[in-house]
Amino acid sequence: MDISGNTIFIPGATSGIGLALAQRLRARGNTVIIGGRRTELLRRLAAEHGFDTVSIDTADAESIRAAAAEVLRAHPDLNVVIAMAGIMRVEDWHHADGFLASAEEVVTTNLLGPIRLVAAFVEHLRTRPRATIVTVSSGLAFAPLKATPSYNASKAAIHMLSESLRLQLADTSVQVIELEPPSVRTALLPGQQDSEFAMPLDEFADEVISLFEAQPDAKEIQVENVKFLRYGEARGDYDQVVATLNAADPHGR
């Protein structure tokens, strides 16, 4: 992906990683449209940062279809979609009433959401000469945190979805890039913003932008902090990685 000159839609960019990347991508000369559910916050971000905005709930199929139509009407030159929106929940799987409703919400948002976003935009993106779909998985796609089973599973599915889409779309102009965050200081879970285990948000976002710039043909964007989780199985120390992860931060990403 080229780092400038794009028109980029980022649903889930009203806070956290999404907003940090949106700000940096706009500063690099891209037109950035951010999406989210909180309309008042969208208006404030538009006024403060100059973003175009669209209301979208990535857990709602009709909302995705309506938002996609709105974005494409206003921005027919759209060539990048970053499927940023996601939720993370602590779950207790000892009893069904401790996890089932949460698990369904996580899968709907984290897996069905990106699938529906791709469905809404892929035909348009195929008409663009330098198009990109950016999926967002996690270090937890490769090493599990015991407190968040559905989140781990949804992000592992996003990893394999990304691998598969890259193969299918290899005969088109659409590049598929998987962003793999480690634990980052955001409000994804209560207390994570202050976690010493988590990577500072600005540090993470700066490194991601640097990697996009340095590796325009990358398949995966991995900051250094995520490689401990990403490559445990390949290194042969997977069990140690899992033990260290769960001992270090029971609620980290």
List Cβ neighbours of 56 (8 Å cut-off, separation of 6 or more): 11, 35, 36, 37, 63, 64, 66, 67, 85
Catalytic residue among 9, 51, 151, 228: 151
Question: Which residue type occupies 241?
Answer: V
Q: Give dist(CA 24, CA 12) in Å, integer.
A: 15
Q: How far apart are CA 58 and CA 128, in angstroms?
A: 24
Output DSSP code: residue 198: S
Parallel, antiparallel, or unpaired: how do β-strands 80-82 and 52-55 relate?
A: unpaired
Nearest partner of 140 among 127, 154, 120, 161, judged by Cα? 154
Query: 26-38 burial, b if ≥16 CB within 10 A, otherwise e?
Result: bebebbbbbbbbe
Is 151 marked active-site?
yes
CA–CA separation, 67 vs 84, rounded Å? 15
Sign of CA dihedral 122, 125, 130, 131: negative
Instruction: Please name the amino acid found at residue 16.
Output: G
Q: Return the active site residues.
A: 151
